[in-house]
Structure 1
Amino acid sequence: MVNQDYIETIKKRRSIYALGKNVADNNEDIAQLIQSAIKESPSSFNNQTVRAAILFGESSDKLWEIVAERLKSEVPDEESYKATRQKVDSFKAGVGTILFFTDDDIVQQYQEQLSLYAENFPIWADQANGMAQINVWQALAANDIGASLQHYNPLIDDDVHTAFDIPESWNLRGQMPFGSIEAPAGTKEYMTDDARFKIFK
């Protein structure tokens, strides 16, 4: 019988929205865990296009204040903004946030060097970023740290680059707030297998 241990680990990774600061691990260990997960994630031609900014404490708070302020001009009325602000504050309540980027300079470099695959490199870079995101998310979950994946880019891109001195070539792809799990995720529903899979023998 095949080993299902990894599947059980995968099941621990859920979108956790009730985050807190009650994490036993210190910031240095968490940062090392995140870096290792990204370094061990695959990329096309091992071109390592994924970049990350790991924000803790006040830096993470600063990011979510940027999001909240930017959304003021996008949300139509004050009542709607209250709900939006509450959502943003739930991300801010965690220990930190990971900003995932793609280094577009590396993508362009490989497009020029391997022109036969030029159209594919942006796609492969997105795939690499997604794999890094899931590996980080999985590593956090394995250590009982909750997280979710958010996408306020490109709305906040310019402000993020300025606030955190991010290189111009780093293209923001996602934000992952993380922290202690203050409430579990809801029950996950699944499509039927016959709607998702085809097995040929």
Structure 2
Amino acid sequence: MKNRYIEWMEKRRSTYALGKNLEQTEEILQYTIMEAIKHSPTAFNSQTSRAVILFNEHHNKLWNLVEEKLRSIVPAENFARTEEKIESFRAGFASILFFEDQDVIQQYQDQFFQYAEQFPIWSEQATGIAQHSVWMALAQEKIGASLQHYNPLIDQNVKEVWGIPDYWKLTAQMPFGSIEAVPSEKEFMANEERFKVFR
């Protein structure tokens, strides 16, 4: 008998053919994203994860910014493919910016100095869990998404445009929207290459 949560995980895919045809309101989407992050576990219940949700023109502004930054470093003869990729993100309904609060991490390092070196590692784990939680929550609503990493290239611009505190560290960007094309079949490594079991 299959585990229901694993069945849900199978529905979560990287979706690049995004659209704006969602039934959910912005308020419902906001609530879903916030609750998914709120209930994601963190070391010492430190709650280091932060998020900025960009709708409408703010969503477009993000991908315009990314495109502009990439245009300055990608050779012109190779930019068509990059431009197409960015346009696929811009075609989505909205985007989420994931951050980790470095001030909170520092506070825990000071308070629990014996684990000081571990808190940045645990923070990276926390943001990964938060991203997966949101992705799963969106997948259950039949919403497509993908996870992008244009940081640190866009970090300073993002902070300036949306007034983000300096102590928030950008970790990922997630464009999401309606699923306009089914992703291709996913391939998996053989279990024998990934797991060891001792009885």
Structures share fold, TM-score greater than 0.5? yes
Q: Distance in 2 between matches of 1:141 and 1:153?
A: 24
Following superposition, the deviation at residue 82 of structure 1 comes to 1.7
Per-residue Cα deviation, 1:79-99 (whole angstroms, up to 9, x for no partner): 311211111010000000000
| Identity score, percent | 55
Report the more deviating stretch, 81-90 or 61-70. 81-90
Question: Are positions 1:180 and 2:168 aligned together?
Answer: no
TM-score by length of 2: 0.98
Partner SS for 1:177: strand
RMSD value, Cα? 0.8
Partner SS for 1:119: coil
Q: Distance in 1 between matches of 2:22 and 2:77?
A: 33
Match of 2:14 in 1: 15
How many residue pairs are counted as aligned between the two chains?
Answer: 199
State the AA in 1 paired with 2:73. Answer: E
Per-residue Cα deviation, 1:42-73 (whole angstroms, up to 9, x for no partner): 00000100000000110000000000000111
Q: Equivalent residues in 2 for 1:1-201 (5 A)? A: 3-76=2-75, 78-201=76-199
Q: Distance in 1 between matches of 2:120 and 2:130?
A: 15
Q: Distance in 1 between matches of 2:120 and 2:184?
A: 34
Following superposition, the deviation at residue 11 of structure 1 comes to 0.3
Q: Distance in 1 between matches of 2:127 and 2:5?
A: 21
TM-score by length of 1: 0.97
Gaps of 5+ in 1: none
Q: Distance in 2 between matches of 1:147 and 1:31?
A: 15
Per-residue Cα deviation, 1:128-148 (whole angstroms, up to 9, x for no partner): 000000000000000000000
State the AA in 2 paired with 1:6. Answer: Y
Q: Distance in 2 between matches of 1:107 and 1:54?
A: 22
Q: Distance in 2 between matches of 1:138 and 1:80?
A: 34
Per-residue Cα deviation, 1:148-177 (whole angstroms, up to 9, x for no partner): 000000000000000011111100000000
Q: Distance in 2 between matches of 1:38 and 1:4?
A: 23
Gaps of 5+ in 2: none
State the AA in 2 paired with 1:164. Answer: W
The runs of at least 4 consecutive aligned structure 1 residues that moved more than 3 Å come to none
Q: Distance in 2 between matches of 1:25 and 1:69?
A: 31
State the AA in 1 paired with 2:41. Answer: P
Following superposition, the deviation at residue 5 of structure 1 comes to 1.1
Per-residue Cα deviation, 1:18-50 (whole angstroms, up to 9, x for no partner): 000000001010010000000000000001000
Q: Distance in 2 between matches of 1:163 and 1:79?
A: 29
